[in-house]
Amino acid sequence: MATYSELMAQAQNLMAQAEQARKTELAGVIADIKARMKQYGITVADLGGASAAGGAKRGPKAKSTAAPKYRGPNGELWAGGPGRKPQWVRDVLAAGKNLDAYRI
C-alpha cells in the first residue's frame, strides 16, 4: 500500500497533468470560437462583453457617499452601512471583539 506522501505526490502530478490538458483544450476552444466569430462577423460587443478597446461595459463601482464611521487596524474606512461587511470587520467580529473600539 502506498504511503500518504506517495499518494500526495501522485495527486499533485495528476493535478499538473489535468491543468495542462485543460490549457491545451482551452486553446483549441478559443481558436474555434475566434474562427467562428470571424466567419460570421461577430464581435465581443455582439456577445454582450467588453470591447477590446472600450474596457468594461459597466462603469467602476460607485463610491459610498456616507461618511466613514469606523477605521480598521490598517487604516481602512467603513461607513457601517447595509450590505457585505469588509473583511477586516468580519475578522474583528470573528475574533469576538467589539467594533466600538474602531469607531472614529
Per DSSP bridges, beta strands 70-71 and 77-78 are antiparallel
C-alpha 55: how far from its chain's center? 17
pLDDT tens figures, 24-77: 999 999 999 999 999 999 998 888 876 555 555 566 666 768 889 999 988 899
- Kindly report whether the global pTM for this prediction surpasses the value 0.75: no
**Apex 33 CA angle, 31 and 37, nearest 5:** 115
Q: Where are the domains of the chain?
A: 4-47, 70-102
